[in-house]
Amino acid sequence: MASGKELEVIKGSKVLMVGAGGIGCELLKTLALSGFEDIHIIDMDTIEVSNLNRQFLFRQSHVGQSKARVAREAVLKFRPHINITAYHANVKDPDFNVDFFKQFNVVLNGLDNLDARRHVNRLCLAADVPLVESGTTGFLGQVTVHIKGKTECYECQPKPAPKTYPVCTITSTPSKFVHCIVWAKDLLFAKLFGDRNQDNDLNVLSTDANDLSKQTEDVFERRSDEDLDQYGRRIYDHVFGYNIEMALANEETWKNRNRPKPIYIEDVFSQKQAKQNGIADQNCGSENSGISAMSSLGLKNPQDVWSLFENTRVFLEALKLFFEKREKEVGSVTFDKDDQLAVEFVTAAANIRAASFGIPLHSLFESKGIAGNIVHAVATTNAIIAGLIVIEAIKVLQNDADNYRMTYCVEHPLKKMLLMPVEPFEPNKSCYVCSETPLSLEVNTNHSKLRDFVEKVVKKKLGMNCPLIMVGSTLLYEVGDDLDEAMVANYEANLEKVLAELPVPVASGTMVSVEDLQQELTCTINIKHREEFDEDEPDEMVLVGWSQPVATEKEDKSVSNGGEGTSDAAGKLKTNDNLDETEIVPTSEIVSVVGSKRKLSELSNTDVKEVISTVSSVHSSAHQMEEINDDEDDVVMLDENPEQAKKKR
Amino acid sequence: MDEEELTAQETALYDRQIRVWGVDAQRRLSKSHVLVSGMSGTIAEFCKNIVLAGVGRLTLMDDRVFSEQSLLANFLIPPDASEHCGRSLAEICCDSLKEFNLMVRVSVEKGDLSSFDAEFFDKFDVVVIAGCSLTIKKAINEKCRKRPKRIAFYAVDCRDSCGEIFVDLQSYTYLKQKGEDTFEHNMQYPSLVDSIAVPWRSLPRKATKLYFAMRVIERFEVAQSLRPGETSAADIPSVLELKKELCKVQSVNESHIPDRLLERLLTHPREHPAVCAIIGGILGQEVIKAISCKGDPLKNFFYFDAADGKGIIEAIADYVSS
């Protein structure tokens, strides 16, 4: 199509793309083919092998290089005369400030994490630049349009909560394989190979009846007289044997649960076998990009589910290899899904724990997916979503506001549709981001410190990067490069003070102003003192008026498996890496329609069920749907489930 | 099912998609052979998608030579004409596609698809044609249907910001998933001839107008011996006249096919790159489903129109009288 006028608008526009991954590669290609001539693209990531099945601008030889730069080069090959500016950088860098954003006619997001999405949303609002936002998981995807004052902003609706689990489920009463993975990854792996001094809920103390002097010894410390085999076997016995015995001693816990079975190394693996572990083909480890317990043990297929015996071998071998071959890193290793040895260790440890608790064992392939929060991704969905982004971007450039649509790409047709357009919703009048509505915070002002407030509320919940905190005209805290030493010291001191004892006391009724200079976002928070908090409020702070993430399952505390969540096609929750190369569906925009005036229509039960089964794959909870029965223009709309509305405050 | 395992290289490359469709589906894909004819922008998108997904072999057909027109929506064709001296579009696209995935064998078949006899199609599991006249579409579809093995057939057409996909999987059995259960499910597909023979008045009133508009235009092109997309604004009066006639014969109201829609399709027959990406994406997904026998395939027409943003399945098949 591209009528003359349309092409003129396209050619004259300057667009910013954030993300050069799965959606980004497709988007850059489609923009270039559509006639865009001035495209800027930001991505901090480098290319990995697992990107190549869909990020078609990249080749094996590009692994390790900047996505933004390689994508630029690849597109210039078929459209040599257009301008593409690549930034191998984090969009949160201070260089990308409001002035930077102001130079663009539209911003197009192909991002993979909630943090960056929120950040870009705020900059677009501050710069008053339209934003087209997108996300995909498997066959599901969506494109939304955010125009300041006209449509809802990205943060008008609650986003899904990060998947977290109660500490005791992880440490004592796992019932699903994912609990074993979280234990293996966040507790055991972190303790053995990460920062020893960090808080960790793993029981590290042993009460050896024969040797009371060693009662408080940290069993994870390797003894001077111990070789790696002995050390591995001792750790094994401690975490899979001794710790289970300890847990079993608490009869109350097991009244309504299956009792776990302690597993000791001697039961699975004799000392003699241990000595031979991994000797078989020690030298074939070169192929698989480095050190691997699987290759030194001759295990080939990552899809196989290993027996307890095999898991035990992998556990001991991986532990040994870490200390033998990667000794320098020990103490600072963090789990990475692309670290083969780390995935092997976590798989084995999770499986041994699963065996103890009667939970089915899983393959390395499956374990890697769970531990790495790997989001399903295929090329086709990304291509479709990128096409839809370009269609919306062209409408935005032409100011064709009546025709803006959010579009959902679904796996099972809904009302005959695989691509389902929905009219954008109006801004949520109580959104603290785009409407600057005051928030209120319930907090024990005699107990919580300014540091808690900064970390748990300002950064974690409000998503601010460089906050500045004021009461009246007094600055309590700020960050920045241009602060003098005295100020820094003053702010540091403030961080350690409880709210009520700050230079300007923060108490019930105090209005605290929180500002992020980069995002140009200011929030006013009304403080309410509260003495007691429940167990399910572990932060001891309750922020009201802030869009509470939607918890998809009941378990929602304390130990989280990675970044922010998204639901997969089966409605099971998966979580997502912050720096993963995959994309997530930012879900739940569709869940509720707060500022909209549309009324719920009468729906049959089948309709509701159909919608729930189809769309709940993209979104976490039930909602209702309205179809305007107009021949030319039937637009499907989803409205908030009354039940859910009640749950929200 | 062959118990061959995927290689470590395949597992690493296909990791993210194996998490979507499983190892069995990946294995079936790697054994399949797909034929495409007509290197349009939509077909370029489609080829990219199935090469990335890891089909076993892909054969390209298009003897046309490079022109400015050919690269408008096709990112597989480098724009420098001097590089292409005399090579066909299929050959140029073949070179680009090979780079996307070294594990896929991409090759070129020369000749006129409609002149090949039916046995030619036996080596393929899937045949996808684009930019073909109705006559050729019907003929190829019939050839595929007459073979002893099942050959999935797809015809695709994109004009202005609209696209159409026709699907014929003949008799297709796959594992359907309903809730927790999976069971064998069979679907019967009619041929293109039988599908478009369905009287218009027996189709639901809400059937997409694009379906009817495309039927009018394809009849016009056959009557005038035009290649698909060779129409122009000058043809509008004759096409509107044909529409009137057809509506009368089919005893449906003329409002069934808005004049404006026909005008759009005739005036801007060129492909819209965003629509190519969308149609090529849906088509890729459908072919992957058909090969892997996983997921509900669409039956039997799909439409997308950027003007309303809807991607609609039209089961014209349900109205074919047996």
d(CA B122, nearest CA chain A) in Å: 27
Q: Is the pLDDT confidence value at A550 over 50? A: no
d(CA A583, nearest CA chain B) in Å: 11
* pLDDT tens column, A203-217: 767 665 455 444 556
Q: Is the pLDDT confidence value at A313 over 50? A: yes
Interface of A with B in 346-365 (CB under 8 A): 365
Average pLDDT, chain A: 80
A25 is catalytic: no
pLDDT class of A615 with cuts at 50, 70, 90: very low
pLDDT class of A257 with cuts at 50, 70, 90: confident
Whether A444 and A540 have beta carbons less than 8 Å apart is answered as yes
What gap in Å lies between CA B25 and CA B291, rounded to an integer?
A: 8
Instruction: Give pLDDT, residue A544.
Output: 81
pTM: 0.82
The residue of chain A with its CA nearest to that of B13 is: A50
Contacts B211 to A, Cβ<8 Å: none
Looking up tokens 């408080």, which residue turns up?
A216
pLDDT class of A278 with cuts at 50, 70, 90: low
Instruction: Give pLDDT, residue A567.
Output: 30
Instruction: Give pLDDT, residue B161.
Output: 92
| Cβ <8 Å between B75 and A33 | yes
| Cβ <8 Å between B288 and A139 | no
What gap in Å lies between CA B217 and CA B243, rounded to an integer?
A: 9
Which is nearest to B42 in space by CA: B257, B220, B229?
Answer: B229
Three-state SS string across A587-632, please? CCCCCCCCCCCCCCCCCCHHHHHHHHHHHCCCCCCCEEEEECCCCC
Q: Tell me which of A25, A124, A168, A409 is the catalytic residue.
A: A168
Contacts A386 to B, Cβ<8 Å: 274, 277
What gap in Å lies between CA A564 and CA A583, rounded to an integer?
A: 12
Which is nearest to A56 in space by CA: A374, A410, A380?
Answer: A380
Interface of A with B in 116-155 (CB under 8 A): 138-139
Instruction: Give pLDDT, residue A301.
Output: 86
Is the ipTM reported for this complex over the cut 0.90? yes
| Cβ <8 Å between B313 and A418 | yes
The residue of chain A with its CA nearest to that of B77 is: A78
| Cβ <8 Å between A54 and B16 | yes
* pLDDT tens column, A321-351: 999 999 888 888 989 888 999 999 999 999 9
Q: Could you tell me the two tokens for A566?
A: 């998204």
* pLDDT tens column, B157-205: 998 899 999 999 999 999 888 878 888 899 999 999 999 999 999 999 8
Instruction: Give pLDDT, residue A246.
Output: 87
Please name the helix (run of DSSP H) or strand (run of DSSP E) that holds residue A123, with its range, or none.
helix A114-127
* pLDDT tens column, B100-155: 999 999 999 999 998 999 999 999 999 999 999 999 999 999 999 999 999 999 99
Q: Is the pLDDT confidence value at B271 over 60? A: yes
| Least confident window among A392-401, A547-556, A569-578 | A569-578
| Least confident window among A53-62, A353-362, B1-10 | B1-10
Asked whether residue A114 is marked as a ligand-binding residue, the answer is yes
Contacts A288 to B, Cβ<8 Å: 8
| Least confident window among A406-415, B6-15, B75-84 | B6-15
The residue of chain A with its CA nearest to that of B206 is: A631
Contacts A74 to B, Cβ<8 Å: none
* pLDDT tens column, A94-138: 999 999 999 999 999 999 888 899 999 999 999 999 999 999 988
Whether A32 and B279 have beta carbons less than 8 Å apart is answered as no
Instruction: Give pLDDT, residue B284.
Output: 97
Instruction: Show Cβ contacts of residue A576 under 8 Å, excluding neighbours closer than 6 positions.
Output: A112, A113, A373, A375, A562, A563, A564, A565, A566, A582, A584
pLDDT class of A255 with cuts at 50, 70, 90: confident
The residue of chain B with its CA nearest to that of A420 is: B310
